């Protein structure tokens, strides 16, 4: 398995980028994070569904850890669902903070022009990254089929979450991460002051088209156009 001891010196996470139509001046930054066993290609086709007008610079990052054998990449080891392995979770979160912050600088954007989301483990990392203590508030968060993590040295920060729109979706028939994790995430995010829209379609561990279309509307609402001419 890949081992990362010092995230300060670790290379940037692998990523795929889909530039905005106005690449020199995008309206915002859209980040999607894949689930366990996948890679940066997994959610890449969804970028154009969420942002068909290509107003935003869009990125899918690849998790830093890879086990021996054919399984894909992961953000942290799963021993108990709901409780990520501490060191791997924090290493992944620090690298995401570093790389997202650098992208915002390079694109001359601010955190209130950032939308971050993900599926399964990627949803957990989206919540963990966006709402870590001391983080600036993003424009919106899109966690699909995940949970609010229980992990040492991380807590859901009320200042980071207050008023932030969250499109939280969890399949009612999810056999991988039980829907009760979705219910718990809704309660915790609302207690932290986030503006939660919760969807519970009759699906398994997957993302439905209606969720993607709802994400499209949220991005249009929360990330205004700044390009002129």
Q: What is the pLDDT of residues 209-222, one digit of tens each?
A: 999 999 999 999 99
pLDDT of residue 91: 97
Q: Which residues pair with 32 in a beta bridge?
A: 60, 117
Confidence of residue 70 (pLDDT cuts 50, 70, 90): low
pTM of the model: 0.94
Q: What is the pLDDT of residues 143-181, one digit of tens each?
A: 999 999 999 999 999 999 999 999 999 999 999 999 999
Strand residues in the chain grouped as ranges (E): 15-18, 28-33, 56-61, 114-119, 140-144, 165-169, 195-199
Confidence of residue 2 (pLDDT cuts 50, 70, 90): very low
DSSP helix/strand/coil, 13: coil
> Among 132, 222, 207, 215, which residue's Cα sits nearest to residue 177?
207
Q: Show Cβ contacts of residue 109 under 8 Å, excluding neighbours closer than 6 positions.
A: 26, 28, 29, 57, 103
DSSP helix/strand/coil, 80: strand
pLDDT of residue 69: 61
Tell me yes or no: is domain 17-222 CATH 1.10.10.60.
no
Confidence of residue 9 (pLDDT cuts 50, 70, 90): confident
Rounded-to-integer distance, Cα 40 and Cα 95, Å: 15
Q: What residue ranges do the domains of the chain occupy?
A: 17-222
Rounded-to-integer distance, Cα 218 and Cα 138, Å: 13
Length of the chain: 229
Confidence of residue 8 (pLDDT cuts 50, 70, 90): low
Rounded-to-integer distance, Cα 165 and Cα 117, Å: 12
């Amino acid at each position: 398995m890949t081992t990362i001891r010092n995230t300060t010196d670790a290379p940037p996470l692998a990523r795929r980028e889909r530039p905005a139509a106005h690449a020199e001046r995008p309206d915002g930054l859209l980040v999607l994070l894949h689930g366990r066993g996948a890679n940066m290609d997994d959610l890449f086709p969804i970028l154009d569904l969420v942002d068909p007008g290509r107003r935003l610079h869009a990125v899918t990052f690849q998790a830093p850890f890879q086990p021996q054998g054919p399984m894909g990449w992961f953000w942290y080891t799963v021993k108990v669902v709901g409780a990520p392995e501490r060191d791997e979770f924090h290493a992944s979160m620090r690298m995401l903070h570093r790389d997202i912050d650098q992208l915002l600088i390079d694109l001359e954007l601010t955190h209130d022009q950032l939308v971050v989301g993900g599926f399964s483990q990627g949803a957990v990392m989206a919540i963990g990254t966006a709402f870590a203590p001391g983080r600036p508030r993003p424009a919106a968060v899109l966690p699909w089929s995940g949970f609010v993590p229980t992990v040492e040295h991380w807590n859901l920060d009320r200042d980071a979450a207050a008023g932030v729109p969250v499109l939280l979706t969890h399949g009612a028939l999810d056999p991988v991460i039980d829907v009760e994790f979705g219910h718990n995430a809704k309660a915790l995010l609302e207690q932290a002051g986030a503006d939660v829209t919760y969807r519970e379609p009759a699906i398994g561990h997957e993302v439905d088209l209606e969720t993607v279309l709802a994400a499209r509307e949220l991005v249009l609402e929360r990330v205004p156009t700044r390009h002129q001419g």
